[in-house]
Homo-oligomer: A and B are copies of this chain.
Amino acid sequence: MVTMKEVAQLAGVSITTVSHVINETRAVAGATRDRVLQAIEETGYTGDAIARSLVTGGTKSLGLAVSLVSHPYFAELIAAIEAEATRAGYSLVLIDTRGEAESEQAAVRMLRSRRVDGVLLTPTAGSAALPELRRLGVPTVLVDRLTVAQDTDQVGPENVQTTSTLVRHLAELGHRRIGMVTGTPGLATTDERVLGYRLGLGRAGLAWDESLVAGSVEPLLGRVTGVVVGDHQVLANVVRTTRASGVRLGTDLALVAYDEVEWAELVDPPLTTMAQPVEEIGRTAVRLLLDRIEDPTRAPQTIRLVPELRHRLSCGCH
């Protein structure tokens, strides 16, 4: 690899000067500058982030520890994060937490040893990594799945009011028995949405019935006229199951779902969903992290972004 030394020799200056013209960290005479720039051009010098990091302490890289198993949704999120990070001159080290506390721990350790400047984390159910990060003082932002504690920066969708809105929409359509199919249990997100469901029932003057909340739609069939689906992961199953059971969505069973999916309007009937502002969530998360890196003493922020209703036909509207 081309080093600064070679560039310096070619330009007939010291490596100090080369460093300074590259980083614009001290005035350099025009003529000298040009020679250096020229030498860089000629040699194809790219710099060595490793060596630089060793002395500066920073790496200009962010760790992205997410659970990759939840495909379709995270792809978009990662893209948004990547874009914003790149824009700020940071690169991303990606690592899969596999949704398990243990892998998550290992992942975070690895990121630390790689000295990333900050970490974007989607905490798993029983996350042990989060306290560790806090203790070590590593700038961290939680994405998508948030904690109740407000002592960490975090960005995610608003779940409670949003799910409540979904329920109320069904209620306004006249449904009295509304069930809910929940996402992965144990996740903060899931809990919040169930809470929102409950809240929505209350607002609509409907009674809460524990037996109408389940992890799949089967036990609900025939017992409810409307259903709220907790996330995109279970949504596919719900559609499949109802179809297999001959239940027609929108007519036999009104369906509204949290999370937009690519195929929402390709199925029959098109699905009414709540679309998270995924792109904005990703962007905001990176911003927040960068802010914290810059000023580690800031007060932690919790940002909830409001999803948008994609009103289609599965709710029974026309």
* Chain A residues in the interface with B (C-beta under 8 A): 1, 46-51, 53-54, 59, 61, 64, 68-69, 71-72, 74-76, 78-79, 82-83, 86, 91-96, 109-110, 112-115, 236, 239-240, 243, 261-263, 265-268
| In the complex, chain B residues whose CB is within 8 Å of the CB of A54 | 50-51, 54
| In the complex, chain B residues whose CB is within 8 Å of the CB of A76 | 71
Taking the closest CB of chain B, its distance from the CB of A275, in whole angstroms, is 14
Taking the closest CB of chain B, its distance from the CB of A291, in whole angstroms, is 22
| In the complex, chain B residues whose CB is within 8 Å of the CB of A239 | 266
Question: Once bound together, how far apart are the Cα atoms of A115 and B50, in whole Å?
Answer: 7
| In the complex, chain B residues whose CB is within 8 Å of the CB of A240 | 265-266
Q: Is the CB of A109 within 8 A of B46?
A: yes
| In the complex, chain B residues whose CB is within 8 Å of the CB of A110 | 91
A93's contact among B78, B93, B261, by CB below 8 Å, is which?
Answer: B93
Question: Once bound together, how far apart are the Cα atoms of A113 and B47, in whole Å?
Answer: 6
Question: Once bound together, how far apart are the Cα atoms of A246 and B95, in whole Å?
Answer: 45
Q: Is the CB of B46 within 8 A of A50?
A: no
Q: Is the CB of A262 within 8 A of B53?
A: no
| In the complex, chain B residues whose CB is within 8 Å of the CB of A59 | 50
| In the complex, chain B residues whose CB is within 8 Å of the CB of A109 | 46
Q: Is the CB of A75 within 8 A of B68?
A: yes
Q: Is the CB of B91 within 8 A of A86?
A: no
| In the complex, chain B residues whose CB is within 8 Å of the CB of A61 | 93, 114
Q: Given A94-B94, A95-B86, A96-B82, decide whether A113 and B46 contact each other with a Cβ distance below 8 A.
A: yes
Taking the closest CB of chain B, its distance from the CB of A84, in whole angstroms, is 11
Question: Once bound together, how far apart are the Cα atoms of A96 and B90, in whole Å?
Answer: 12
For A110, give the chain B residue with the smallest CB separation: B91
Q: Is the CB of A79 within 8 A of B96?
A: yes
Q: Is the CB of B48 within 8 A of A113?
A: yes
Q: Is the CB of B262 within 8 A of A72?
A: yes
| In the complex, chain B residues whose CB is within 8 Å of the CB of A53 | 50
Question: Once bound together, how far apart are the Cα atoms of A94 and B85, in whole Å?
Answer: 11
Q: Is the CB of B82 within 8 A of A95?
A: yes
A266's contact among B51, B83, B263, by CB below 8 Å, is which?
Answer: B263
Question: Once bound together, how far apart are the Cα atoms of A240 and B266, in whole Å?
Answer: 6
Question: Once bound together, how far apart are the Cα atoms of A110 and B262, in whole Å?
Answer: 32
Taking the closest CB of chain B, its distance from the CB of A253, in whole angstroms, is 15
For A63, give the chain B residue with the smallest CB separation: B91
A82's contact among B49, B94, B265, by CB below 8 Å, is which?
Answer: B94
| In the complex, chain B residues whose CB is within 8 Å of the CB of A50 | 50, 53-54, 59, 114-115
Subset of 6 A-B contacts with CB under 8 Å: A71-B76, A74-B75, A82-B95, A86-B96, A91-B93, A268-B268
